[in-house]
Amino acid sequence: MFTTNMSGTQVSLEDEIESGAILDIVVINLSCVEDNTTCSAWRPANFVEYFTSDNCEPCGPVEQQLANRDLDTTFIMSHHPSDSNDFWLNASKIRFQETYFLWGYPSLIIDGQGLLAGKTQAQELDSAISNSTMNYSGIDQAWFENGTLSIDYDVVDVNIDVWTVKSYSYQGHDYTNLAINHSRISINNSSVDTNGDHLVIVMSEPGQLPLEMVSSIPPTGYLPDGGIGKAETLSQIDTSTIVIITALLAILILPATVELVRLIRQKPPDFEQE
């Protein structure tokens, strides 16, 4: 059973085309399900989304970095957007491709605004968090009691997404709060999965969330996702990467270019007339 004072217009993830923004996020610890007590939501100061893949070698150090962070007011949620993974989530794939227009792993999104790409940039996560000041608001209260999730809010024209997350280790990877289920709350859909560690409730304006690179370091240790195939994702490629690729191509074709110029400038041989 689910109750909420639904006052917003709901749309599907596939319909997100305009520029949007994260308005609020609250988290419910699901330990109360076993204790049969009321679970009240708490609001983190910052929200970090981490996109990874099972076959991403550069992601290993980033996952250890996330797992070893000291507990603070930041909440980290991990995503498996690639359908080549054993525990991938289609909603995470849509968020990766259509909400953020990302193109590789590891990717860290700070408060739906800042991007850290690659294991080198990921080392600046704490600095990026400290420089991101968010004033999340919109959800008046949310709680889970007797099998019922209740959300009170008065904002209109918003999406309410509920993610079920769970931390676990798999094939040498340590995933922090991996998204294992997703529900877009609407009048016709009010079901949520409580078989996890937390419920992450995200209120957002519908649309693509534009990102700003928050590091000046080139994105080394960044594994492209070969399944994207979207021309728009090229806009996320770092400028320095394009310069390096262009320079390498120029070096490869330089000998052939020099030889061609030499042949063009060579004086043609004289032929005797009969």
pLDDT one-digit tens code per residue, 109-118: 999 999 999 9
Of residues 19, 43, 32, the one with CA closest to residue 202? 43
Q: Is the pLDDT of residue 237 over 70?
A: no
Query: What confidence tens digit (pLDDT) does each residue in 26-67 have?
Result: 999 998 877 777 888 999 999 999 999 988 999 999 999 999
- Which range has highest mean pLDDT (131-135, 242-246, 249-253)? 131-135
- Rounded Cα distance, 97 and 231, in Å: 11
Under the banding of pLDDT at 50, 70 and 90, the label for residue 211 is very high
CA distances from 62 to 56, 78, 187, 212 (A): 11, 11, 39, 20
What pLDDT is recorded for position 231?
33
In 45-197 the beta strands, taken as DSSP E runs, fall at: 46-51, 74-79, 104-105, 107-110, 114-117, 139-145, 148-153, 159-170, 173-184
Q: Assess whether pLDDT exceeds 90 at residue 76.
A: yes
**Sequence ranges of the domains in the chain:** 2-227
Q: Give strand pairing partners of 202.
A: 25, 161
Give the separation between CA 178 and CA 186, rounded to whole angstroms: 23
| Range name among 59-63, 142-146, 220-224, 237-241 with the lowest pLDDT average | 237-241
| 1 pLDDT above the threshold of 50 | no
For the chain, give the mean pLDDT.
Answer: 83
The percentage of residues in the chain with a pLDDT greater than 90, rounded to a whole number, is 59
Check if the beta carbon of residue 146 is closer than 8 Å to that of residue 32.
Answer: no
